[in-house]
Amino acid sequence: MSTTVETVSAAARTAPAAVIVAIDGPSGTGKSSTSKAVAAQLGLSYLDTGAQYRAITWWMLNNGIDVQNPAEIATAAAKPVIVSGTDPSAPTITVDGEDASGPIRTQEVTSKVSAVSAVPEVRALITELQRSIAKEAERGIVVEGRDIGTTVLPDADIKIFLTASPEARAARRSGEVKGSDLAATREALIKRDAADSGRKTSPLAKAGDAVEVDTTDLTLTQVIECVVTLVGEKQAAK
Ligand SMILES: Nc1ncnc2c1ncn2[C@@H]1O[C@H](COP(=O)(O)OP(=O)(O)O)[C@@H](O)[C@H]1O
Ligand SMILES: Nc1ccn([C@@H]2O[C@H](COP(=O)(O)OP(=O)(O)O)[C@@H](O)[C@H]2O)c(=O)n1
């Protein structure tokens, strides 16, 4: 009996503590690319919380919910079953068992997601889901979004807030879509930032203890290196 207890406590002493990394910021600052790469390098899980808000929005649109009607959204919010796969080399997202990774990236979903994500009942459900995923990540997790450092995981070991100029962000985003209009992309980004920053419930915001990294003039590799270094410093200090 005492041997088991001793074995367990010895293992607990040697196992590295799970590390929780929160990465927030507006669209096009490099959250997804950075978070996936950092998680892969450090052997951590990865969660794209924007994909979850996109998934619930996609379900609302498919199920005839008026996405301009917060009461209708609130009533339906608990119906879809959203499951996120947290392997950074192959993240997945399903809604009621159906792969949603493609359809959640359409222009229609992108233009409606801020209205759905502003509804408090939606945020409460998705926040609970995010916390349970983070808790289950044995080695730790990189969670990216808008309110991770402020609301979802306020006790995260390290919080990063990525920024970049609207011009750089629009150029990055339109670089992903052939033939896209740079000015229209920029306007759409600014509109979504304003909606996400202006909502009442857990708006897009930098946590007081987050490290801000302006990625405008950095390469993606430089941003990844910067975050990996910051995480390493935190772990060393633990
Ligand atoms: N520092 C950077 N320099 C140039 N391009 C970048 C940089 N960071 C990300 N990108 C590119 O910009 C686009 C948006 O990045 P992404 O990680 O999806 O941002 P976010 O998740 O913040 O919306 C992607 O095509 C990505 O490859
Ligand atoms: N933690 C989060 C993450 C995303 N969101 C919402 O989900 C939308 C899509 O997030 P995203 O991260 O996929 O957006 P992109 O940065 O990839 O364009 C945001 O515009 C927010 O409305 C949120 O409210 N809270």
* Residues 32, 70 within the same domain: no
**Separation of 234 CA from ligand 2 center, angstroms?**
27
Look at 73-82, 126-135, 136-145, 229-238 and tell me which has the smallest mean pLDDT. 229-238
pLDDT of res. 5: 46
* Residues 155, 233 within the same domain: yes
* Residues 143, 199 within the same domain: yes
pLDDT of res. 237: 82
Tell me whether residue 153 is exposed, middle or buried, using C-beta atoms within 10 angstroms of its C-beta: 0 to 12, 13 to 18, 19 or more.
buried
Q: Is the ipTM of this complex over 0.90?
A: yes
Between 13 and 170, residue with greater pLDDT? 170
* Residues 26, 63 within the same domain: no
What are the tens digits of pLDDT across the range 171-181? 999 888 888 89
Nearest atom in ligand 1 to 215's CA: 1
Q: Is 12 contained in some domain?
A: no
Q: Is 102 contained in some domain?
A: yes
pLDDT of res. 180: 84
pLDDT of res. 14: 57
* Whole-number Cα distances in Å, 113 to 51, 146, 168, 193: 10, 13, 22, 12
Q: Which of 136, 162, 184 represents a domain boundary (last residue)?
A: 136
What are the tens digits of pLDDT across the range 9-35? 554 555 678 999 999 999 999 999 999
Q: Which of 93, 120, 136 represents a domain boundary (last residue)?
A: 136
Q: With contact defined as beta carbons under 8 Å apart, do 195 and 214 qualify?
A: no
> Mean pLDDT throughout 208-212?
98
**Separation of 53 CA from ligand 2 center, angstroms?**
7
Question: Cα separation of 183 and 161, whole Å?
Answer: 25
CA dihedral 85, 103, 203, 40 (to 10 degrees): 30
Q: Is 13 contained in some domain?
A: no
Instruction: Tell me what the pLDDT averaged over the chain comes to.
Output: 93
pLDDT of res. 10: 53
Q: Is 161 contained in some domain?
A: yes
CATH number at residue 231: 3.40.50.300
Minimal-distance CA residue to ligand 2 atom 10: 50
Indicate if ligand 1 lies below 6 Å from the C-beta of 218: yes
* Residues 29, 144 within the same domain: yes
* Residues 81, 195 within the same domain: no
Q: Which of 136, 155, 184 represents a domain boundary (last residue)?
A: 136
**Separation of 166 CA from ligand 1 center, angstroms?**
12
Looking from the CA of 73 toward its CB, the CA atoms found within 13 Å total 25
pLDDT of res. 2: 43
Q: Are strands 158-163 and 211-214 parallel, antiparallel or unpaired?
A: parallel
* Residues 37, 61 within the same domain: no
What does the angle CA 216 – CA 217 – CA 222 come to, to the nearest 5 degrees?
105
> Mean pLDDT throughout 185-203?
95
Tell me whether residue 152 is exposed, middle or buried, using C-beta atoms within 10 angstroms of its C-beta: 0 to 12, 13 to 18, 19 or more.
buried
CA 118 to chain centroid, in Å, comes to 15
H-helix or E-strand containing 60? Answer: helix 49-62
Q: Is 9 contained in some domain?
A: no
Question: Cα separation of 73 and 66, whole Å?
Answer: 7
Q: What is the domain count for the chain? A: 2
Q: Which residues constitute the domain of residue 74?
A: 49-136
Residues annotated within the binding site for ATP are 25-33
User: Among 65, 162, 78, 161, which Cα is nearest to 115's?
Assistant: 65
* Exposure letters 71-95 (e unless 16+ CB within 10 A, then b): eebeebbeebebebebebeebebbb
Minimal-distance CA residue to ligand 1 atom 15: 30
Q: Is 25 contained in some domain?
A: yes
pTM of the entire structure?
Answer: 0.94
**Separation of 224 CA from ligand 1 center, angstroms?**
11
